Amino acid sequence: MKPSRRVFAITLAFSLLLIGRGPFHNSRAQDVYDVREHYIKLEAQIQMRDGAKLFTSIYMPKDTSQPYPIMLNRTPYSVAPYSPTEFKPSLGPSDLFMKEGFIFVYQDVRGRWMSEGDFKWMTPYKPKKAEPTDVDESTDTYDTIEWLLKNVPNNNGRVGMWGISFPGFYTASAIIAAHPALKAASPQAPMADNYLGDDMHHNGAFFLSHAFNFISNFGRPRPKPTAIGLPRFDHKTPDGYKFFLEMGSLANANRKYLKNEIVIWNEWMKHGTYDQYWQAQNVPQHLTRVTPAIMTVGGWFDAEDLYGPLKVYEAVEKNNPKTYNTLVMGPWCHGCWARTDGDELGNVRFNSKTGPFYRENIEFPFFLYFLKDKGDPKLPDAYVFETGSNQWKTYDSWPPQNVKIENLYFHADGKLSFEAPVSAASFDSYISDPKKPVPFINEIAIGMTREYMTDDQRFASTRPDVLVYQTDVLTQNVTIAGPVTPSLFVSTSGTDSDFIVKLIDVFPDDTPDNNPNPANVKMGGYQMMVRGEPFRAKFRNSFSKPQPMIANKPTKIEFYMPDANHTFRKGHRIMVQVQSSWFPLVDRNPQKFCDIYNAKETDFRNATQRLFHSARLPSHVKLTVLKQSTP
């Protein structure tokens, strides 16, 4: 027996001797569930195959009259508190789990907090291990499970795994080459690809405020394992628009603030295209032999990781036809399914408590069935919330089979229609000025707000550098259920440009205000963003090999916007806005073909942008429309 295992076993035996074998559910009535009353806590350093030890907190039910499955969460965000006598206030994905009874295990991943080793950004999976000591997140999870099964008493031999955001990435990585005991896994808001659509980049455009604010704290060097966190970066202003505009080009971030201390930031600045650095981090490409039951969870309005859950589900479904695989998408911000009622986001109301519904009727039954053989969740392939109509829907596949692609065309005079344009020559134009970029929100905030994905866009629709198109008042519902794909014919007087497309639901003018309405927002005419994404034009043919635009030449660009499930109701209008900046959510494009990460201030210049909408150059947005709602 290795020393670490011996110490753990002795500690465990002594603890069990002290606590006895009292009934798990025999507790005094109380409003707040007391974790300490029902669980004991142990801490261990679990050794990986290369010798690195990962700090792990283990919470075990005091009741030992039955064996329990293990619920594992691996995180870079700390398993605190760090002491066998200090307890988390709650355990598991929701309170339902700790009241039911599981063995809960939390682990600091390699290189973070109290764990040894070197941290890597989205550690790439190694399909071929040259040496027995080669490691990645899949092997670290495997080794952890193997140790837990052998060293934690009273486990039933089954393991479940869950995690939100970065922990969602670790969950998705664990199922690539899963331990046989891993029976159920739920990657929630998993990062699948940080260049194509999650967190730090969308379609090659750098999400500036989110990336900078996150990594300026998270990426600070950690010379040795520590339980002490670092202070957040001090912007010395609450105004992110002002802060990032005054910072100037991305090249100034190190000179002014980061001082070359953030290794991960420096890596990003060296990899401005979809090269091997980013390609190796793509998770879905490896999901080819998934054996656990999978429930992937995401939010339709997740500002950080909407791309990830859709792509993880898609890869598991495509490559593993015999694997239990379900997708759950609700009207949620990042992780909000786990901690809120989910009945609203910003000014938009969903008319039901979607969070508790998910936790009680979807998540908890899923794990109970696969880890304890209790009940049967009878989950469909896709359990999705349809915003606009505000209803839960179930489908045998995602996107649903009962859909067709409908093109929503741009026309002169700001018109938007499902009928193609017939004019011989027609376009609209605007001047994009990098010194006065279009803000992404109409308020003061230091970073990316969680509400921006449903925010009112009326403030942007009045700007001269934003093109606005809308349909007539809808005479019947139009429900979209799947990808949104802008297909634009554009030109620029520069040699590169960003094109941001926003799909918007325009409420009727007589829509009543919310009640309560503390912000005094007028909902009549509200322009709710349903989906919005940027695209960097130099990547129109390849994210790996950018090409300059030819000045003033009409060029087609087509790009993916993550799926949506929304009903534009009768009496509403559909609007599309097009612009070339979205600041500071997205870094400014100099509008000159160059390495933007190292651009000089002199590289930034105005550009005249044109959007064409003629019979020959019919710019449009492809919508995935449910057939019964086809206009």
What integer is the mean pLDDT of 604-624?
A: 98
Let me know the angle formed at the C-alpha of 312 by 262 and 587, rounded to the nearest 5 degrees.
40
What sections of 181-295 are H helices per DSSP? 208-218, 240-247, 252-253, 263-270, 276-279
Average pLDDT, the chain: 94
pLDDT confidence band for 23 (50 / 70 / 90): very low
Same domain, residue pair 63 and 125: yes
Of 460 and 519, the structure prediction assigns the larger pLDDT to 460
Cα 146 to Cα 150: distance, rounded to the nearest angstrom: 7
CATH code assigned at 331: 3.40.50.1820
Decide if 311 contacts 197 (C-beta within 8 A): yes
Spell out the SS3 assignment of 444-504.
CCCCCCCCHHHCECHHHHCCCCEEEEECCCCCCCEEEEEEEEEEEEEEECCCCCEEEEEEE
pLDDT digit string, tens, across residues 69-111? 999 999 999 999 999 999 999 999 999 999 999 999 999 999 9
Last residue within a domain, chosen from 361, 395, 429: 395
Structure tokens at 174: 């664990």
Same domain, residue pair 390 and 409: no
Same domain, residue pair 151 and 52: yes
Centre a 10 Å sphere on the Cβ of residue 281 and count the other Cβ atoms it contains.
21
pLDDT digit string, tens, across residues 367-380? 999 999 999 989 99
Same domain, residue pair 498 and 465: yes
- Residue 476 belongs to some domain of the structure: yes
Cα 18 to Cα 20: distance, rounded to the nearest angstrom: 6
- Residue 271 belongs to some domain of the structure: no
Confidence at residue 32, expressed as pLDDT on a 0 to 100 scale: 81
335 CB burial (10 A radius; 0-12, 13-18, 19+): buried
Tell me what percent of the residues of the chain surpass a pLDDT of 70: 95
- Residue 259 belongs to some domain of the structure: no
Centre a 10 Å sphere on the Cβ of residue 282 and count the other Cβ atoms it contains.
19
| 320: helix, strand or coil | coil
| 430: helix, strand or coil | strand
Cα 283 to Cα 299: distance, rounded to the nearest angstrom: 19
Spell out the SS3 assignment of 118-172.
CCCCCCCCCCCCCCCCCCCHHHHHHHHHHHHHHHCCCEEEEEEEEEECHHHHHHH
Nearest CA-CA partner of 61 in 340, 377, 356, 372 = 372
Residue 47 sits in which domain range? Answer: 3-193+281-395
pLDDT digit string, tens, across residues 490-523? 999 999 999 999 999 999 999 999 999 988 999 9
Same domain, residue pair 385 and 445: no
Confidence at residue 631, expressed as pLDDT on a 0 to 100 scale: 56
Same domain, residue pair 79 and 50: yes
- Residue 421 belongs to some domain of the structure: yes
What sections of 237-347 are H helices per DSSP? 240-247, 252-253, 263-270, 276-279, 307-319
pLDDT digit string, tens, across residues 134-193? 999 999 999 999 999 999 999 999 999 999 999 999 999 999 999 999 999 999 999 999
Same domain, residue pair 159 and 128: yes
Decide if 334 contacts 365 (C-beta within 8 A): no
343 CB burial (10 A radius; 0-12, 13-18, 19+): middle
Q: Give the list of residues 6+ apart from residue 31 with CB closer than 8 angstroms, or none.
A: none
How many structural domains comprise the chain? Answer: 2
pLDDT confidence band for 31 (50 / 70 / 90): low
Q: Which long-range contacts (CB under 8 A, 24 or more apart) does 1-9 make?
A: 2/47, 4/44, 4/45, 4/46, 4/47, 4/53, 5/147, 5/151, 8/42, 8/44, 8/151, 9/151
- Residue 221 belongs to some domain of the structure: no
CATH code assigned at 478: 2.60.120.260
Last residue within a domain, chosen from 360, 395, 430: 395
Phi, psi (degrees; rounded to nearest 5) at 622: -85, 125
340 CB burial (10 A radius; 0-12, 13-18, 19+): middle
- Residue 200 belongs to some domain of the structure: no
Same domain, residue pair 417 and 536: yes
Identify the bridge partners of residue 517 per DSSP, sorted by sequence position. none
Q: Give the list of residues 6+ apart from residue 127 with CB closer than 8 angstroms, or none.
A: 286
Same domain, residue pair 9 and 102: yes
pLDDT confidence band for 488 (50 / 70 / 90): very high
DSSP 8-state assignment for residue 272: -
Confidence at residue 10, expressed as pLDDT on a 0 to 100 scale: 31
What sections of 165-232 are H helices per DSSP? 166-174, 208-218
Confidence at residue 618, expressed as pLDDT on a 0 to 100 scale: 98
Same domain, residue pair 374 and 440: no
Q: Give the predicted TM-score (pTM) of the model.
A: 0.93
Last residue within a domain, chosen from 395, 426, 460: 395
Same domain, residue pair 8 and 155: yes
396 CB burial (10 A radius; 0-12, 13-18, 19+): exposed
- Residue 453 belongs to some domain of the structure: yes
Same domain, residue pair 391 and 408: no
**Residue 413: pLDDT over 60:** yes
- Residue 253 belongs to some domain of the structure: no
